[in-house]
Amino acid sequence: MFTGLIQTVGTLTLLSADQVQITCSDPSAALPLKDLAIGDSVAVDGICLTVTEIGADGFTADVSPETVRRSTLGQKGDTEKRVNIETSLRVGSKLGGHFVTGHVDGVGIFRSAVQTATSWDITFATQSDVVARYVLPKGSISVNGISLTIAECAPDGAWFTVAVIPHTYATTNLSHLNPEDWVNLEGDILGKYVEKFLGSGQSLAMPDRISPSFLAEHGYL
């Protein structure tokens, strides 16, 4: 589990179809990665990867076919790129973003970034129905592992805009994106469970179907 608050930026190199190497040459990466161990989970551009080898300035991880299919790792492009890195959330740590699992739902495309007086308004688009269904105003979304809040979006979720503060823009790979670049997207896991229970008519506490009348009866409407 992760928070979507990026700790450092590194370089991802594709070693093979099922293995990647993450290099963190920046001295600022030393702190978040100092306790890294074999088997640990690390979010790399929002993709939860398991550490298989540890080097002097980074680590190596294996990649499953499902991860390649769902994420930017399956998109044609450079075999080396800058990636956002976050180590897994520890019990008792601050949760400043939102719950991010590192299980990418699909990919999107960077459209534009417009600087305003206080932030950057960044727009992304997606053709993935799995992603679009969880896109809603003021909802949470993970873009390349970054916890962001949706400011505006299309009714069908095909595009959305987020307001990014200068600190986040400068300390993540958002500032390195070019139009049409691919990004990893993960919808809010809380919304997924709500959808599951509403759609199936099941709840953890009550087996009856949840309906508007049921909610009204129990004081929710």
Mean pLDDT, contiguous 10-residue spans, the chain (221 residues) = 92 92 78 85 96 92 93 83 91 79 95 96 96 94 97 96 96 95 94 78 53 72 56
Amino acid at 155: P
Those residues whose C-beta lies under 8 Å from the C-beta of residue 81, and which sit 6 or more positions away, are 11, 12, 173
Predicted local distance difference test score (pLDDT) of residue 209: 62
Q: Which of 43, 122, 34, 33 is nearest to 84 (CA)?
A: 43
- Hey, CA dihedral for 32, 12, 182, 172, is it positive or negative? positive
| Number of residues written out for the chain | 221
Tally Cβ neighbours within 10 Å of residue 74.
15
Which two tokens mark 190? Answer: 């809380």
Predicted local distance difference test score (pLDDT) of residue 28: 65
For the chain, list the domains and their CATH numbers.
Answer: 8-87 (2.40.30.20), 110-189 (2.40.30.20), 190-221 (no CATH)
Predicted local distance difference test score (pLDDT) of residue 136: 93
Predicted local distance difference test score (pLDDT) of residue 26: 74
Beta strands in the chain, from DSSP E residues, in sequence order: 8-16, 19-23, 41-44, 47-55, 58-62, 80-87, 106-115, 120-125, 140-143, 146-153, 159-164, 182-187
- Hey, CA dihedral for 83, 89, 90, 93, is it positive or negative? positive
Predicted local distance difference test score (pLDDT) of residue 207: 45
Q: How far apart are CA 162 and CA 170, in angstroms?
A: 15
Q: How far apart are CA 63 and CA 104, in angstroms?
A: 13
Those residues whose C-beta lies under 8 Å from the C-beta of residue 140, and which sit 6 or more positions away, are 4, 97, 98, 147, 148, 149, 150, 188
Dihedral of CA atoms 125, 126, 127, 132 in degrees, nearest 10, equals -120
Q: How far apart are CA 31 and CA 15, in angstroms?
A: 25
Please say whether the beta carbons of 179 and 110 come within 8 A: yes
Predicted local distance difference test score (pLDDT) of residue 126: 96
